[in-house]
Chain A
Amino acid sequence: MEITILIFLFGGLFLGWSLGANDAANVFGTAVGTRMVSFTSAAIICSVFVILGAIISGAGTTETLGKLGAINALPGAFAACVAAGISVYLMTKVGLPVSTTQAIVGAIVGWNLYTGSSTNLQVLITILGTWILCPIIAGVIAMGLFTFTKRVILNRKLHILRLDAYTRTALLLAGAFGAYSLGANNIANVMGVFVPISPFTDVTIGNLFVFSSKEQLFLLGGLAIAVGVFTYSKRVMFTVGNDLLKMTPVAAFIVVISHSIVLFLFASQGISAFLQSINLPSIPLVPVSSSQAVVGGVIGIGLLKGGKEVQWSIAGRISLGWMTLPVIAALISLIVLFILENIFNLTVSF
């Protein structure tokens, strides 16, 4: 493999690293921040399940992202990833919980605009629609689960210590499911743009198992996410656990499981196919934002408690961040593409 290819892939790996550093906090932040789960346990479980989710179920959302704009040159894909990474970094600096999802979509649209490729409007509208739906669905699921769980806990008369032990186990399981769903849903953000131009070839292991080039890319992306989790997510997890969401451990579990269900729903080819088979509208397989899902879940629980605990001004600021991030990513994408093409004489599209 040429060294230039590795350098270009590095753009995706950087994005994977930032996804691991930031979005892992959505999955395990409250559990680690409230010291219900140790950081080492969280990091190991998160890394293993992110990689599994990416390899096993990452194909669906990647396909949708590919339809939005099929970046057909490695420098183009590199530019999109770098643009997405920079914009996420900038928004994180401002203190807004954003996701790589919105950034990469903006960056792809930027590539389309720069190269004169058409943007599939129907896919774009579907993606934007799911961004509105995602926090709403997460909120509704959180409300339902919270009401149910609260009733069960009160009726079962569990000892405070027994409840603590169950909550810890539940947080670990929900975290594992959340990490799997994050890998499945968000690997497209990290490696999706490289799929059409993958530098890898399929590897057959013992005539039994084919490790496709796409899966190899996803494994690489998953590892980058894992590195992000281990090297940088600890601080973000404590911030999420202690400052952003002041919740009881049970409420934290509900938020994580609601987030995970939403991410899984929007990544599962199986559920989508099943709904289609019984003539129901299928769920679009779209990379959604894990931050949006978490914020939706928190607001859902806040509303159940009367809405007074919800800081609406902060919620408004976060929403504004969600709207501006794709635009910023698209603009940075245009700038990076311009630099690559005109200063480094690289072909950014064919």
Chain B
Amino acid sequence: MFGLKSASLFGDTKKLEREIDEFVDIVSEVGLVFKSIVPTYLNHSANGKFEEMVEKVKEMESKADKITKDVEHTLYEETLIPDARSDVLRLLEHIDELIGMYQGNCYHFSIQKPNFPKEFHEDLIELTETVVNCVESLCLTVRSFFRDIKSVRDNAHKVTFYEKESDIKFSALARRIFDSELALDQKMHLRYFVEKIDRICDQAEDIADEIQIYAIKRSV
């Protein structure tokens, strides 16, 4: 009886480990796609490719949702990690929201089609890259929370660093938009997009802070 139970315990454990790894891979991949989506959008000639990429992000988001539900089910059904279960589920939900933010940005670009003049392209691409770097560092923080608790602090520090960088880039770009000769409605429209991209970093930083607390709780 106990032998079977323990075999299934280790089987479930391996399956869950794989699923959580896959989930973090998706976050990372969505970021990489998003990094290409913005320049693709700005380059109006590749609109077909842009829509293809938006579709890809949607698919990845659905896959991440499914994994979150699976993990939640198994953790509760098998009463695994009772001491850290609620922390892990909250963490996965918040990361899932982050993927949702990427997806939301893609949809907004696709539906509202903001008109970014050429002079802002470079700054917008740089902001996007910083945001993606920030989320990449968050992925490392998440992986270290699960496997290497000692590295959580170092990786979380990188998230904070990129979040500050992103704030600086956002402020500079927003200032340049409002200093330009564009009409106020267009300025506000562009500012909305820049702000939404920057918010991804704020969410990433909040999650990194959360992980640091969970790591303290998890310390042996």
CA distance A36 to B78 in the complex (A): 10
Check B44 for interface membership: any CB of A closer than 8 A: no
B220 touches A161 (CB 8 A): no
Known: A169-B6, A172-B2, A251-B220. A162 touches B13 (CB 8 A): yes
Q: Which residues of A contact B82 (CB under 8 A)?
A: 34-36, 249
CA distance A191 to B80 in the complex (A): 40
Most buried by B among A35, A157, A162, A164: A164
Check A67 for interface membership: any CB of B closer than 8 A: no
Contact with A along B1-38 (1 / 0, CB 8 A): 01001100110010011001000000000000000000
Chain A proximity of B132: nearest CB distance (Å): 26
Q: Which residues of B contact A276 (CB under 8 A)?
A: none
Most buried by B among A153, A161, A172, A251: A161
B2 touches A160 (CB 8 A): no
CA distance A153 to B147 in the complex (A): 10
Contact among A41, A158, A159, A248 for B83, CB-based, below 8 A = A248
Check A132 for interface membership: any CB of B closer than 8 A: no
Chain A proximity of B59: nearest CB distance (Å): 27
Q: Which residues of A contact B9 (CB under 8 A)?
A: 165, 168-169
A153 touches B17 (CB 8 A): no
Check A324 for interface membership: any CB of B closer than 8 A: no
CA distance A165 to B148 in the complex (A): 17
Check A250 for interface membership: any CB of B closer than 8 A: yes
CA distance A155 to B150 in the complex (A): 9
CA distance A45 to B1 in the complex (A): 12
Chain A proximity of B111: nearest CB distance (Å): 40
Most buried by A among B2, B16, B83: B83
Check A154 for interface membership: any CB of B closer than 8 A: yes
CA distance A250 to B83 in the complex (A): 11
B81 touches A159 (CB 8 A): no
Contact with B along A156-192 (1 / 0, CB 8 A): 0111111011001100100000000000000000000
Check B218 for interface membership: any CB of A closer than 8 A: yes
A34 touches B83 (CB 8 A): yes
Check B112 for interface membership: any CB of A closer than 8 A: no
Known: A34-B82, A35-B82, A161-B17. A248 touches B220 (CB 8 A): yes
Q: Which residues of B contact A34 (CB under 8 A)?
A: 82-83
Check A235 for interface membership: any CB of B closer than 8 A: no
Most buried by B among A34, A146, A159: A159
Residue of B nearest to A172 (CB): B2
CA distance A165 to B84 in the complex (A): 13
Check A149 for interface membership: any CB of B closer than 8 A: yes
Q: Which of B48-84 contact A (CB under 8 A)?
A: 79-84
Residue of B nearest to A305 (CB): B219
Residue of A nearest to B75 (CB): A161
Q: Which residues of B contact A45 (CB under 8 A)?
A: 2
CA distance A38 to B88 in the complex (A): 22
Known: A154-B149, A172-B2. A160 touches B220 (CB 8 A): no
Q: Which residues of B contact A153 (CB under 8 A)?
A: 220
Residue of B nearest to A162 (CB): B13
Contact among A149, A154, A158, A164 for B80, CB-based, below 8 A = A164
Q: Which residues of A contact B16 (CB under 8 A)?
A: 161
Contact with A along B183-220 (1 / 0, CB 8 A): 00000000000000000000000000000000000111
CA distance A149 to B219 in the complex (A): 12
CA distance A157 to B17 in the complex (A): 13
Check B146 for interface membership: any CB of A closer than 8 A: yes
Chain B proximity of A145: nearest CB distance (Å): 12
Q: Which 3 A-B pairs have the closest CB atoms?
A: A35-B82, A165-B13, A164-B81
B148 touches A157 (CB 8 A): yes
Q: Which of B76-123 contact A (CB under 8 A)?
A: 79-84, 88
B220 touches A162 (CB 8 A): no
Chain B proximity of A87: nearest CB distance (Å): 36
CA distance A338 to B210 in the complex (A): 66
CA distance A316 to B220 in the complex (A): 26
A160 touches B81 (CB 8 A): yes
Chain B proximity of A42: nearest CB distance (Å): 11
Known: A41-B2, A157-B148, A165-B9. A35 touches B218 (CB 8 A): no
Residue of B nearest to A247 (CB): B83
Contact with B along A241-259 (1 / 0, CB 8 A): 0000000111100000000
Chain A proximity of B18: nearest CB distance (Å): 10
Residue of B nearest to A36 (CB): B82
B220 touches A250 (CB 8 A): yes
Contact among A36, A150, A172 for B220, CB-based, below 8 A = A150
A154 touches B150 (CB 8 A): yes
B150 touches A161 (CB 8 A): no
CA distance A35 to B82 in the complex (A): 7
Q: Which residues of A contact B17 (CB under 8 A)?
A: 159, 161-162
Residue of A nearest to B150 (CB): A154
Chain B proximity of A304: nearest CB distance (Å): 11
Residue of B nearest to A161 (CB): B13
CA distance A35 to B76 in the complex (A): 12
